[in-house]
Amino acid sequence: MTGSNTMSLQPDDKPRSPAHTAGGLTRRRLSSSALAAAALASGVLGRPRPAEAGDKTLTVGSAVFPDSLRPGISSFQSLNLMIQTNDPLIARDNVGNLHPALATSWQQVADTTTRFSLRQGVKCHDGAEYTAEDVAFTIGRIVDPQTAYGMLARIGAVTGATVVDKYTVDIHTKAVFPTLLKGLSDIVMEVKHYYDKVGPNGVQAHPMGTGPWVYQKWTPGDRYEMTAHKGYWDGAPKVDRLVLREIPDAATRVASLVSGETQIIEEVPIDLIGQVSSSGAAKVDEVTSSVGLVLTYDVRSPPFDNPKVRLALDYAVDKPTILREILKGHGELLQGQLLTKATFGHNPNLKARPYDPDKARALLKEAGYDTGTPVPITTQSSKYVSDVDIANAVAGMLSQVGVNASVSVTEGGVFLQKWRAFKMGPMYMVGWYSLGDADFATTWYTKGGMRTVWVNDEFERLFTEGRSTNDEARRLKAYHRMMEIMYDENPSMYLFGLPSLYGVSTKIAGFGAAADKLLRVTKTDFV
């Protein structure tokens, strides 16, 4: 995929001017009737479902879609789609625990070789049996530099895979690799004979695997339609059809839930929780996630090539007030680092810098900062809870110390294209999931993660050290130092650890909020 050089905004995603109330904090209040009216006006409600009579269709309102169904895009919104049709070797549950999927067991047969025993009799959507040849093919394709596989960083120490027999495969690493199993839970397995038949473009146009749902139709920016895989190895889904709808506007998404157009929605805004709960039609399901929400700088060019400017902006933002007023205490304040407190590798000796606008102004003056420089903050809408409100609040606070900040809300697919091309502008909002281990979040700040323009040689060395030993004390020491480096250099402004907030219809059962935002609905049914 090629990156776009043009910023694309939705009709009501105009660049936001910083709010000037309550220190730049924005508020939003809508009644349930107003929510429904908004959705009707936008044409979301009342669309006929292309379902056969008697089919049970579960409709999910998604906040953001990726720009394609290409396997391996390094985003959870992409993985959320791919994992419906293609299984991993090892899966996670909603709280992050690992359990067998296509692999039933595994053992370390050498320091750099892990042997996986596959589940026998697993059928692909075309009826063919899934075997070790498919696993070896998938791993080989991922580690091939020509593939440019975005999720490669998750298993960056893997060198390849070898078929032992029809149901056994060895995965090789270049060194001891303590996070291999967790990394594999983010890697969907592909089907060799299907790839050989249709090629990469065919796979992207029509995914096919062993997963619980069978691809039917993909309309970028609108919907993803699937039907139940009746022969699924873990039991057929409880409903006949699954439709994921992209509804980027949060109020419209909530209205679709309250009206019954959707049964599950992602990212309920904090200030609309009351409307969902009081509707009688739905409830909010909240779970703590490991995402660290940050504002990342382009450190390649002025003004953010100057560490003093980045430090000044950290003092300019009143993060505790944003946590209190916008997030209403949901989530946690990041303590001067990327990692949430419960993550292995979090450095307890670091603390968030205090709000000190006078110090921020003084640092900007020392840096010779040009107050006329425009600083757009790029964000997606509803990719993370209250993300646009948070971005507006930050922009408002920055304006109070002389930074000409504004907010640019960008459609999800365009955001990903610009991100892959390293053309996000001077500041952009993103969340990095650690899944409980520092390796998973810090990888995106390394050259191998292919997502950073900030480079620090000591950080790179420590990252490699941390993922190349099973000694937890050594790993912890490496990650603590890495957090210190990030604190000192400020490649990002560290904001909040955020929860995942789902809206769930009272007419369904068997759904649980997921800490990693991956949709697991095979056991979900209407009641």
3-state secondary structure 300-316: CCCCCCCHHHHHHHHHH
| Unique residue bearing structure tokens 């480096």 | 485
* Residue 413 pLDDT: 78
With a CB cutoff of 8 Å and minimum separation 6, the contacts of 237 are 212, 213, 228, 229, 521, 522, 523, 524
10 Å Cβ neighbour count for 191?
24
The b-or-e profile of 433-448 (16+ CB within 10 A means b, else e) is bbbbbbbbbbbbbbee
* Helix (H) / strand (E) containing 432: strand 427-433
List, in sequence order, every beta strand (DSSP E) within 254-367. Answer: 264-265, 282-297, 332-333
- Given a contact cutoff of 8 angstroms between Cβ atoms, the answer to whether 350 and 484 are in contact is yes
User: Helix, strand or coil for residue 113?
Assistant: strand
Distance CA 395, CA 403 (A): 8
CB atoms within 10 A of CB 386: 29
Is there a contact between 289 and 497 (Cβ–Cβ < 8 Å)? Answer: yes
Q: Taking the CB of residue 110, how many other CB atoms lie within 10 A of it? A: 10
pLDDT of residue 356: 98
Cα 12 to Cα 249: distance, rounded to the nearest angstrom: 9
Dihedral angle computed from the Cα positions of residues 501, 505, 511 and 512, in that order, rounded to the nearest 10 degrees? 20
pLDDT at position 485: 98
**Highest CATH level, class, for 288-500:** alpha beta
pLDDT for 86 equals 98
Amino acid (one-letter) located at 85 = T
CATH code, residues 86-197: 3.90.76.10
Instruction: Please report how many Cα atoms fall inside a 13 Å half-sphere around the Cα of residue 332, on the Cβ side.
Output: 19
Residue 78 to residue 83: CA distance in whole angstroms: 9
CA dist list (Å): 241 to 52, 224, 229, 254: 10, 11, 10, 21
Q: With contact defined as beta carbons under 8 Å apart, do 427 and 297 qualify? A: yes
Cβ–Cβ under 8 Å, residues 59 and 263: yes
Q: What is the pLDDT of residue 52?
A: 53
Q: Per residue of the chain (527 residues), what is the pLDDT tens digit?
A: 333 333 333 333 333 333 333 344 444 434 444 444 444 344 444 343 444 556 899 999 999 898 899 998 878 889 999 999 999 999 999 999 999 999 999 999 999 999 999 999 999 999 999 999 999 999 999 999 999 898 999 999 999 999 999 999 999 999 999 999 999 999 999 999 999 999 999 999 999 999 999 999 999 999 999 999 999 999 999 999 999 999 999 999 999 999 999 999 999 989 999 999 999 999 999 998 999 999 999 999 899 999 999 999 999 999 999 999 999 999 999 999 999 999 999 999 999 999 999 999 999 999 999 999 999 999 988 889 999 999 999 999 999 999 999 999 998 778 888 878 888 899 999 999 999 999 999 999 999 888 889 999 999 999 999 999 999 999 999 999 999 999 999 999 999 999 999 999 999 999 999 999 899 999 999 99
Separation between Cα atoms, residue 55 and residue 47, nearest integer Å:
16
SS3 374: strand
Distance CA 394, CA 59 (A): 34
Beta bridge partners of 168: 117, 165
> Can you give the residue ranges of every domain in the chain?
86-197, 288-500
Which of 156, 417, 457, 426 lies closest to 297, judged by CA?
426
What is the spatial distance between Cα 482 and Cα 179, in angstroms, rounded to a whole number? 17
